[in-house]
Amino acid sequence: MASSLIFRASRRFLKPSSSSSVSLHLATFNPLSSAQQFATQNRNPTLNAPFNPPQLQNYNFEFRKTVGSLSNFHLVAHVSTRPSKEDRNQSGSVSNGGGGDATWVDLYLHKQVQPYARLARLDKPIGTWLLLWPCIWSITLAATPGHLPDFKMMTLFACGALLLRGAGCTINDLLDRDIDTMVERTKLRPVASGLLTPFQGLCFLGFQLLLGLGILLQLNNYSRVLGASSLFLVFSYPLMKRFTFWPQAYLGLTFNWGALLGWAAVKGSLDPSIVLPLYASGVFWTLVYDTIYAHQDKEDDLKVGVKSTALRFGDSTKEWITGFGIACLGGLALSGFNAEIGWPYYASLGVASGHLGWQIWTVDLSSRADCNRKFVSNKWFGAIIFGGILAGRLSS
């Protein structure tokens, strides 16, 4: 009799379901094992068909029914509509334009401003750090022995690095918009994806350059001329990948111009024995980190027909960048020696060499994720060198 009641109750209250994202749990507390077995075997997975799980993400439904006079018997239907991890990842990637996890640009900026912020790579500050560190090294080297560097000058250069890096990215995206659509990593950039028109990009470029000019005019006349001369490198760099396998070297000449400019902004002139080895070391450092970075796109670059040191070096990449790393450290040591800096600087070079060696020896050049991790870690290499220069200058 009890089994008959259970059968009718289950037929009445359990409806079919085929959704794989819904979990249904029936719990029975009747000591009759046959009733338990029946309830378990006859769960039908379409109980949840009328519901749309993505619209009911944070709710759980519990349904209890007491059958007849069997007060100790309960059917508990538990429907979980929380989205799967895969669903959350997919919805997140769509919300921020395919960039994976949401950044502060997605969370805090107005939707009309977000494409411009991404065009300037404000959501990816690593480029600003890599542009800023050679400036900071040079300013700190130019400080009076035993004194802190000029913090006002460092602040100006920080603002300038943010603006110039954004302007460089804007120029790059305008010139490469046809290529970017064919490369997996870049096809969702604002200009390539159509979020911004080339004209809007040009207007934004003019705005960034105007602000950059305001920063440059705060410096001495020698620095103004030296700083303005870097614009040729900034505008021509995006074209280099079309003509040479060494665009990373050209990027090094561009990104490390601050090693010359920082010293000139403090001293009003250049000391070649100090700033040229510093500038050269920055170029070799760029060859290390940007070659690692270029390995992310090597398959797409081959299809598109653009060039890079990653394609030039191929399986010999680690040998090449090891040489560049040694040259970088040698240039830093020579610059510090000519600047008569204190011993803590050389201790920092030991730490920095360990960091550079870790990057080179452990990077998996076939993994885009690992190449990007090693590339981003270079902000700490720059910080180590800065800490060494600061300590060495204060102790000299």
Structure tokens given for 128: 């600003």
How far apart are alpha carbons 162 and 167 in whole angstroms? 9
How far apart are alpha carbons 281 and 327 in whole angstroms? 7
Kindly report the backbone phi and psi dihedral angles of residue 65, in degrees, each rounded to the nearest multiple of 5, phi listed first.
-140, 125
Q: Computed from CA positions of residues 342, 343, 347, 350, in that sequence, does the dihedral angle turn out positive or negative?
A: positive
Structure tokens given for 333: 């040591």
Residue 340's SS3 state is coil
Structure tokens given for 141: 């080297």
Question: By the 8 A CB rule, do 73 and 26 touch?
Answer: no
Residue-level pLDDT at 342: 93
Strands (E), the chain: 23-25, 60-66, 74-80
- pLDDT tens, per residue, the chain with 396 residues: 444 444 444 444 444 433 333 333 333 334 344 434 434 444 444 334 444 444 434 434 333 333 343 344 333 333 333 333 333 333 333 334 444 568 889 888 989 999 999 999 999 999 999 999 999 999 999 999 999 999 999 999 999 999 999 999 999 999 988 888 888 888 889 999 999 999 999 999 999 999 999 999 999 999 999 999 999 999 999 999 999 999 999 999 999 999 999 999 999 999 999 999 999 999 999 999 999 999 999 998 898 889 999 999 999 999 999 999 999 999 999 999 999 999 999 999 999 999 999 999 999 999 999 999 999 999 999 999 999 999 999 997
pTM for this model (two decimals): 0.74
Residue-level pLDDT at 189: 92
Structure tokens given for 158: 């920080």
Structure tokens given for 64: 């209890």
Amino acid (one-letter) located at 170:
T
Residue-level pLDDT at 263: 97
Kindly report the backbone phi and psi dihedral angles of residue 62, in degrees, each rounded to the nearest multiple of 5, phi listed first.
-125, 125
Distance from CA of residue 125 to its chain's centroid?
Answer: 7
CATH 3.40.50.920 assigned to 112-395: no
Residue-level pLDDT at 183: 84
Other Cβ atoms less than 10 A from the Cβ of 342: the count is: 18
Residue 50, Cβ density class (10 Å: 0-12 exposed, 13-18 middle, ≥19 buried): exposed
Residue-level pLDDT at 179: 87
